[in-house]
Amino acid sequence: MSKRIYRVTSRHGLLTTTAVLGLAAAMMASGIPARVQSAYADAVRVQAPDEPGFADVVEAVTPAVVSVRVKSDIKPVSSNSFNFGAPGMENLPEDHPMRRFFREFGQGSPFGDRFGERGDQDRPEQRMPRARPVSQGSGFFISDDGFVVTNAHVVDNGSEFAVVMHDGTELDAELIGKDARTDLAVLKVDSDQTFTYVSFDDDDKTRIGDWVVAVGNPFGLGGTVTAGIVSARGRDIGAGPYDDFIQVDAAVNRGNSGGPTFNLEGEVIGVNTAIFSPSGGNVGIAFAIPASLASEVVADLMDKGTVERGWLGVQIQPVSADIAESLGLSEAKGALVTEPQPDSPALEAGLKSGDVVTAVDGELVESPRDLARKIAGISPGEDAEITVWREGDTRTLKVEIGTLKEPKRAAALAGPQQNDTGESLEEFGLTVKPADDGNGLMITKVEPGSTAADRGMREGDIIVAVNNTDVQSADDVAKAVDAATEAGRKAVLFQLSNQDSSRFVALPVSVG
């Protein structure tokens, strides 16, 4: 019989539990070689326990999982009030049709309750409590002295916090810190008791197809357990620059946010944070923050209440195959610098628009997301070596990493630019004219169906440079294109700006 040690710690130290966990395997003989069937069957027989199930791991970890309740200050509301957020509604006459409608709108509904199930307006005025639950999620103890991990979005706008343990005990808690960029938060329970807690695992060992168990508080039902497998790794769902989610198919629903996803050793491999669902319920696609990232953020929040990240100060975009071709790169990897930010470490170190960051401290950079994670992991004030590809050659720049500040609200986009006439760049389906400030060429027309249109170029964009050469006229563009074709390039790189943003677009050129 195989044994597993659950790394769940209680007041008595290391808690060990003998578990019998596994899968019932079945194979169809048709089309599978006998030797493969035999090897697979042998492997299953070696690993399969006598009593399949998840009960042992669930029993071990459940005491460490809690429900998180968040309260928020609200203004006292009279039970006789009637406004529903619309000004003037409270002054409607008693016999007004709208009053009658809402009195009769589904007895027991929030509308009906506002007036009483029969619309009784003669009850003594009742006031709602000063605070009420506004959100409910899940969490788990990460230390025996009461630190609790949950999601930042669970505790947002909260003024009072409480955790409910698996036995129904409710304990007050305070918010120690939260990090919106990774959607993680840490609470501290106000109690002298010693708690059973769980630990983070090295999720790098987690493979697609591994069994996982999710424990949480879906729909406010209390402790609920679901099981599934790891469906994918490294998912980018557009939540932020550090997206690297583990995708699982265990049933995760609203209220599971902040809850743990366990491996079969009872270790946390991820913190549930999002689901993909047209209906709001489980459809088998859920995302968890990987333990490797969560453990670092949680440690900082427990220690300092905040997270300090390194800052390079560049706008970046992915390197597509066309962009790689236009720059002479052998692979479409790295992060293309569209523009160094003012007063940034990148600008001071000499990074330029058009540079491709290929490595940080000797570690290869696969993508913009990879660069963001690597820089964020460097402590502010430390020096880093940034390797870039520039003008067909590799260079290494020394940068003193800055401190990442909270993001500012993006400026509103300006209205559409007037479509004036100008010079034609017929090969690309563009019409351009000198920009008003004399820096670059403004696109005044993009031919529908052209390559430029397909690549997202639009009227009002400013062509700043072509293949890292500044352009002021259509002739400048033609010269840059000729130089690219003579060098055997199959694409040229246009640097575009619009308002406060900059980006690169590679357009194919005719060769020969």
- Residues carrying an active site annotation: 153, 183, 257
Say how far residue 438 (Cα) sits from the centre of its chain.
40
Separation in Å, CA 312 to CA 309, 357, 369, 380, 499: 10, 11, 13, 10, 22
- As to burial, measured by CB atoms within 10 angstroms (0-12 exposed, 13-18 middle, 19+ buried), residue 160 is middle
- C-beta separation of 126 from 39 below 8 A: no
* DSSP secondary structure letters along 244-262: -EEEE-S---TT-TT-EEE
Q: Which two tokens stand for residue 367?
A: 């993508």
Rounded to an integer, what distance in angstroms lies between the CA atom of residue 309 and that of residue 282? 34
Tokens of 149: 């991990």
Question: With contact defined as beta carbons under 8 Å apart, do 136 and 68 qualify?
Answer: yes
Q: Which long-range contacts does 25-28 make (Cβ < 8 Å, 24+ apart)?
A: none
249 close to 285: Cβ distance less than 8 angstroms: yes
Q: What is the DSSP string of 11-54?
A: TTEEE--------------TTS-HHHHHHHHHHHHHH--SS-SS
488-494 CB contacts, 8 Å cutoff, 24+ apart:
489/325, 489/326, 489/328, 490/325, 490/326, 491/322, 491/323, 491/325, 491/326, 492/326, 492/466, 492/467, 493/323, 493/326, 493/327, 493/354, 493/466, 493/467, 493/468, 494/457, 494/463, 494/465, 494/466
Bridge partners of residue 316, in order along the sequence: 337
For residue 266, report the phi and psi dihedrals to the nearest 5 degrees. 80, 20
∠ Cα 240 246 248 (to 5°):
130
Pull the structure tokens for residue 221. 């039902």
Please state, in angstroms and rounded to a whole number, the distance separating the CA atoms of residues 508 and 325: 9
> By C-alpha distance, which of 319, 353, 368 is closest to 465?
353
The token pair at 315 is 């706008």
- Per the DSSP assignment, residues forming a β-bridge with 161 are 70, 173
| The two three-digit tokens of residue 413, written as one number | 């986009």
CA separation for the pair 430, 321 (Å, rounded) = 22
